[in-house]
Amino acid sequence: MKKHASVISFVLIFCGSLGAQIDTSIINYITITGQYVDGAGIELRWFPSNRSVMTLGLEKGYRIERAEVPTSPTGTLQFQVIKTINTYNSTNWSTAIAEKNTLGVANNLPELAEDFSETVKDRENPIINIQPDAQNLKVLKHEENNEHGSLMLTAIQDKEVAIGLGIGMVDSTAVSGATYMYRAVIDRPLPTSGTGLSKTTTLASKAMINNMDVVSMETIVKAVGEPALVNNSVQVKSGDGAITIHWDERPGLSGYYIERSSNPNGGFEKLNAAPILHVRGANYHGPKRGSFHDDKVQNERTYYYRISSHNLFGDKIVVANVEGQARDLTPPEEPFLEQPKHINGKVELQWKFFNPPANDLSGFKVYHSTERESGYAVINNAQLPVNTRTYAHSDFNARGANYYKVEAYDANGNMSASLPAYAVIIDSIPPSKPKDISADISQDGEVQIVIPKQEDDDVIGYKIYKANQADHEFIVVDEYFPDAVDPNEAIRRQEEAGQVPVDQESNVKPRPQNDLQFLNREPENSRPERPISEKYQFSERIPLKTLTPNIYYKVKAFDRNYNQSEFSALIEIEKPDIVPPPRSIFRNVSTDIGVIHLDIVKAKAKDLNRIELSRQENGARRWQLIQTFQEGKQIERFTDQKIEPGKSYLYRLQSIDHNNLRSAYAYSQTIKSINRIDVASVSRVNARAKQEQVTVSWNHPFSDEIFFVVFRKNGKNGWRQVGRSQRNQYVDKRVSSGQYEYAVKTYRKDGNKSEMSRVAKVSVR
Q: What average pLDDT does this structure show over 320-324?
A: 92
Query: In terms of domains, do 173 and 271 share one?
Result: no
Average confidence (pLDDT) over 430-451:
94
The answer on pLDDT for 129 being more than 90 is no
The total of other beta-carbon atoms located within 10 Å of residue 499's CB is 16
Q: What is the mean pLDDT of residues 267-287?
A: 83
Query: d(Cα 722, Cα 344) in Å, to the nearest integer?
Result: 96
Q: Tell me what the mean pLDDT of segment 629-637 comes to.
A: 85
Which range among 277-281, 483-487, 620-624 shows the weakest confidence by mean pLDDT?
483-487
Residue finishing a domain among 672, 702, 719: 672
Average of per-residue pLDDT across 71-91 = 88
**Position 504 pLDDT exceeds 60:** no
Is the same domain home to 268 and 122?
Answer: no
Do residues 414 and 299 lie in contact, with contact meaning Cβ atoms separated by under 8 Å? Answer: no
pLDDT of 506 reads: 36
List the single range of 18-22, 208-212, 243-247, 692-696 with lowest mean pLDDT.
18-22
Q: Report pLDDT for 702.
A: 85
Residues 147, 276, single domain; the answer is no
Contacting residues for 217 by C-beta, under 8 A, at least 6 apart: 18, 20, 22, 29, 30, 31, 32, 183, 205
Give the per-residue pLDDT at 513. Answer: 35
User: In terms of residue numbers, what domain contains 319?
Assistant: 234-281+288-325
Domain count, the chain: 4
pLDDT, one tens digit per residue, over 401-437 is 899 999 999 998 999 999 999 998 877 789 999 999 9
Under a CB-based contact definition with an 8 Å cutoff, are residues 176 and 328 in contact?
A: no
Q: Are residues 687 and 667 in the same domain?
A: no
Residues 190 and 53 in one domain: yes
Comparing CA positions, the residue from 538, 534, 547, 542 lying closest to residue 568 is 538
Mean pLDDT of 481-496: 62
Neighbours of 756 (CB within 10 A): 15
**Coil/strand/helix, residue 7:** helix
DSSP states of 132-157 as a string? --HHHHHHHHHHHHHHHHHHHHHHHH
Would you call 33 helix, strand, or coil by DSSP? Answer: strand
Within 542-623, strands assigned E span: 550-559, 571-574, 585-592, 595-601, 608-617
Asked, for residue 491, whether it belongs to a domain, the answer is no
- Is residue 490 situated within a structural domain? no
Beta strands in 262-397, from DSSP E residues, in sequence order: 269-270, 289-294, 302-311, 316-325, 336-337, 341-343, 346-352, 361-369, 377-378, 390-393
> What average pLDDT does this structure show over 61-65?
93
Residue 389 within a domain = no
254 lies in the same domain as 187: no
Per-residue pLDDT tens over the stretch 4-46: 433 434 444 444 455 455 566 678 899 999 999 888 999 999 9
If we measure between CA atoms, which residue out of 641, 417, 384, 392 comes closest to residue 520?
417
Query: Cα dihedral angle (706, 712, 713, 719), rounded to 10 degrees?
Result: -40
Q: Which of 174, 197, 222 is the last residue of a domain?
A: 222
Residues 181 and 275 in one domain: no
User: Domain containing 614 — which CATH number?
Assistant: 2.60.40.10
If asked whether residues 617 and 760 sit together in one domain, one would say no
| pLDDT averaged over every residue in the chain | 82
Rounded mean pLDDT, 488-497: 56
In a domain, 636, yes or no: yes
Supply angle C-alpha 384, 390, 394, rounded to 5: 95
Percent of the chain with pLDDT over 90: 44
Assess whether 636 and 757 both reside in one domain: no
Proportion of the chain above pLDDT 70, given as a percent: 81
82 lies in some domain: yes
CA angle 733, 738, 740 (to 5 degrees): 70
**8 A C-beta contact, residue 535 and residue 443:** no
The answer to whether residue 165 sits within a structural domain is yes
In a domain, 507, yes or no: no
Question: Could you tell me which of 303, 246, 304 has the C-alpha nearest to residue 278?
Answer: 246
More confident: 229 or 153:
153
> Counting every residue, how long is the chain?
765
Q: 39 and 162: one domain? A: yes
Above 80 in pLDDT, residue 262?
A: yes
Q: Are 698 and 683 in contact (CB under 8 A)?
A: yes
Which of 609, 697, 622, 616 is CA-nearest to residue 654?
609
Out of 262, 297, 325, pick the residue that ends a domain. 325
What's 693's DSSP letter? -
Q: Is the pLDDT of residue 300 over 90?
A: no
Whether residues 724 and 663 fall in one domain: no
Mean pLDDT of 338-354: 92
Greatest mean pLDDT among 320-334, 463-477, 503-517 lies in: 463-477
Helices (H), ranges, 166-325: none
Question: Pairing relation of β-strands 29-37 and 212-216?
Answer: parallel
Domain annotation covers residue 478: no
Q: Say if residues 9 and 147 touch (Cβ distance below 8 Å).
A: no
**Given this model, what pLDDT does residue 486 score?**
52
pLDDT tens, position by position, 218-235: 999 998 877 655 567 899
pLDDT at 498: 53
Do 168 and 41 lie in one domain? The reply is yes
